[in-house]
Amino acid sequence: MNFLQAWNKGPGPESAREYLTLILKGLCMGVADIIPGVSGGTMAFITGIYDNLIDSIRSFNGRFIKCLLKLDLKGAIAEAHLKFLLPLLLGIMVAMVSMARVIHTLLVTHPVQVWSLFFGLIAASIFVVGKRVGEFSLKNVLFGIAGAVFSFLLVGLIPVTTPDTLWFVFICASISICAMILPGISGAFILLLLGKYEFVTGAIRNPASIENAAVLLVFVCGCAFGISLFSRVLHFLLEKHHAITVSLLTGFMAGAMRKIWPWKEVLDSVVIRGKVHVLSEANVLPPAYDGGFAGAVLLMVAGCAAVIILEWVSSAKDS
């Protein structure tokens, strides 16, 4: 078996068009991960690749590690779903590198407009994902409500001060990376709640020092451990208890709407390294029902329309 045969053994795109489509879906995930409070997992659900994403993460298993230890690169490539993951990761990285500065600038200069667009996206996503529950029952409704309440309370928490020790960085990485593949919950926001967002991003800005390199290495190891373990748990739940799990994930998305409501009032903030970071805020009604409000509503509608069209195209392609 040559390297090309090993590459083609795993699931993934077959044509140039399918590769481009997967890269574009990665771009959507990357842009979503940039926005605080919005999850790339939500975009994976919307674009119909969520199950493939979970399965691809699970492909880095014991057999994959065994092949690496034996220096059997062909066997490792055949075991891992790199054919799916690499184009997706390319799209995610391109979005993060090229759009991070733009998105953050827009959040400062036009926050209501940005939040309005994503509010519409997530609102329509709740409907799209909710349809995949499959059956309407009291049990599914209760799990959906539980997920919504948990997510609603979670996004309202105030970041805490925590230790900077390596073992705690490992734990934070393991938890935050799990949130990144959960619809409705932002991994960056979880890291902020755990008091490690500035600590880790500070290490990224200056990775040359031994201390920062150690922090980043531990963080990467924590991410690998967390996502490897959680992807297996999530796969089991989706396979054995699909309706309940999707109901819970739909609830997560609904509760997280609290975070992306466009009109906010800052209650408490702190200045770190010359930048203002909001600790707590309250959702408020629009200050005026003028042209700005109309523009925000139009962006919400545009976000909803984008998701519905995307879901319609995906359904037409599958049928």
Q: What is the pLDDT of residues 79-121, one digit of tens each?
A: 778 888 888 889 888 887 777 677 777 877 888 998 898 888 8
| 178: CB partners within 8 A, 6+ apart | 187, 226, 227, 230
For the stretch 208-260, pLDDT in tens is 788 888 988 999 899 888 888 888 888 888 888 888 988 988 888 888 888 88
The number of domains in the chain is: 1
Which DSSP string corresponds to 213-266? Answer: HHHHHHHHHHHHHHHHHHHHHHHHHHHHSHHHHHHHHHHHHHHGGGTT-S-EEE
pLDDT of residue 187: 73
The arithmetic mean of pLDDT across residues 173-191, rounded, is 76
Encoded tokens for 190:
């979880």
Residue 193, domain extent? 3-318
Name the least confident of 25-29, 84-88, 94-98, 149-153: 94-98
pLDDT of residue 314: 64
- Give the Cα separation of 290 and 277 in Å (integer): 29
The arithmetic mean of pLDDT across residues 277-288, rounded, is 81
pLDDT of residue 316: 63
Query: How far apart are the two ends of the chain, measured CA to CA in Å?
Result: 35
- Give the Cα separation of 71 and 204 in Å (integer): 30
Is the pTM higher than 0.85? The answer reads no
CA torsion 293-298-302-308 (nearest 10°) is 100
> What Cα–Cα distance (Å) separates residue 156 from each residue in 86, 179, 191, 258?
35, 16, 14, 8
| 202, HSE (Cβ side, Cα atoms, 13 Å) | 12
pLDDT of 268 > 80? The answer is: no
pLDDT of 158 > 90? The answer is: no
pLDDT of residue 297: 94
pLDDT of residue 236: 87
pLDDT of 2 > 80? The answer is: no
Name the least confident of 13-22, 24-33, 152-161, 295-304: 152-161
| Residue 36 pLDDT level (bands cut at 50, 70, 90) | low
pLDDT of residue 298: 96
Write down the mean pLDDT value for the chain. Answer: 81
| 117: CB partners within 8 A, 6+ apart | 299, 300, 302, 303
Encoded tokens for 83:
């054919």
- Give the Cα separation of 69 and 76 in Å (integer): 10
Tell me which of 138 and 8 has the higher pLDDT. Answer: 138
pLDDT of residue 300: 94
